[in-house]
Amino acid sequence: MHRFWPLFLLLLACSALAAPPRNFSVVYHITRNGQDFGDVTETFRQENGRYKLESLTKGVGVYSLLGVRRLVSEGEVTPDGLRPAHFEQQQGASGKAVSADFDWAAGTLTMNYKGKSKTEALPPGTQDLASYAYQFMFVPPQGDDVEIPVTTGRKLRTYHYRVDGRDVTVEAPAGKYKTLHFVNATEDGDDKQLWLGVELHHIPVRIVIQDEKLGALEQVLTSLQVE
C-alpha cells in the first residue's frame, strides 16, 4: 500500500491547486491614458456556502478628490458558481447608492437608483459589476465565446466576449503570467478587454477599457494574497 502514498499526495495537491481559493485579496493599479489614476483593492471571502466581495477604488493625485468608489456583492457559492443576492455601489461618502436585489426563486431582478426601483426578469447566470470577473474562478471559460448577463444597479445588459488569444504572456507588477485574452465581441459593446490568469484560477491579470468620457483605462495586477 505504501507505494501508492506518493501518488495519493500528488493527486491531493493537484486537487487543492485546482480548487478556487476560499479567501483572497488582490490589488490593481489603474492608469488613465498612460497616467496614474488610482488603485483597486478587492477582497473575496466565503464561508458556509456564502460569499462577500468588496471592491474599493481610490484615486491618486487630483483623482483622489473623486472619493472612494465602493462595490459590494453578496450571495451564494453554488455548483454553477457565484449567485449574487445583493449588490451595491457608491462613489464617495456623499454619493447616492445604487443597488440591485436578486430574487432567484421569483426570477426577478430589482434595481434601485435615484430613489426609483425597476424590476426585470432575471436571466440565469446573471452577475453584478463586482462579481462577474470572478465567476470565471468557478466556471472557467469554455469555447471561444462567453456571454454573461451583468447588472450595474442601473441597468441589465449582456457582456459578450470572444477569445483573441490563449496562453498570452502578460508581465504585471505582481509577476509574469499566462493568460486567456478576451475582447469585446459586439460593435455596440463596452469595448473592454480581459486577460485572465490561466494558472491563477482565471483571476483577471489585466483589464483595458476604452471609455467615452475617461479615455483609455488600464488595470493591472500588482499583488495577490491567498489565505
Give the residue-averaged pLDDT of 79-85. 96
**Comparison of pLDDT for 21 and 39, the residue scoring more:** 39
* Number of Cβ within a 10 Å radius of residue 189: 14
Which pLDDT value is given to residue 5?
40
Got the DSSP string for 54-122? EEEEEE-GGGGGG--EEEEEEEEEETTEEEEEEEEEEESTTSPPEEEEEETTTTEEEEEETTEEEEEE-
Q: For residues 195-212, give the mean pLDDT.
A: 93
Query: What integer pLDDT is reported at residue 15 of this predicted model?
Result: 37
Indicate whether 14 pLDDT > 80: no
Residues forming beta bridges with residue 100, ordered by sequence position: 87, 111
Quickly state the pLDDT bin for 4 (edges 50, 70, 90).
very low
* 158-202: pLDDT as tens digits: 999 999 999 999 999 999 999 999 999 876 656 889 999 999 999
Give residue 94's pLDDT band: very low, low, confident or very high (50, 70, 90): confident
pLDDT averaged over every residue in the chain: 89
Which own/partner contact pairs does 30-37 have at CB distance under 8 Å and 24+ positions apart? 30/57, 30/217, 30/218, 30/219, 31/217, 31/218, 32/63, 32/214, 32/215, 32/216, 32/217, 33/215, 33/216, 34/216, 36/60, 36/61, 37/63, 37/217
Rounded average pLDDT over 34-50: 96
Q: How much is the pLDDT for 187? A: 66
Note the CATH number of domain 21-226. 2.50.20
Mean pLDDT, rounded, for 142-154: 93
pLDDT of 54 > 80? The answer is: yes
pLDDT of residue 17: 45
pLDDT at 83: 98
13 pLDDT higher than 50: no
pLDDT tens for each residue of 102-140: 999 999 999 999 889 999 999 999 999 999 999 999 999
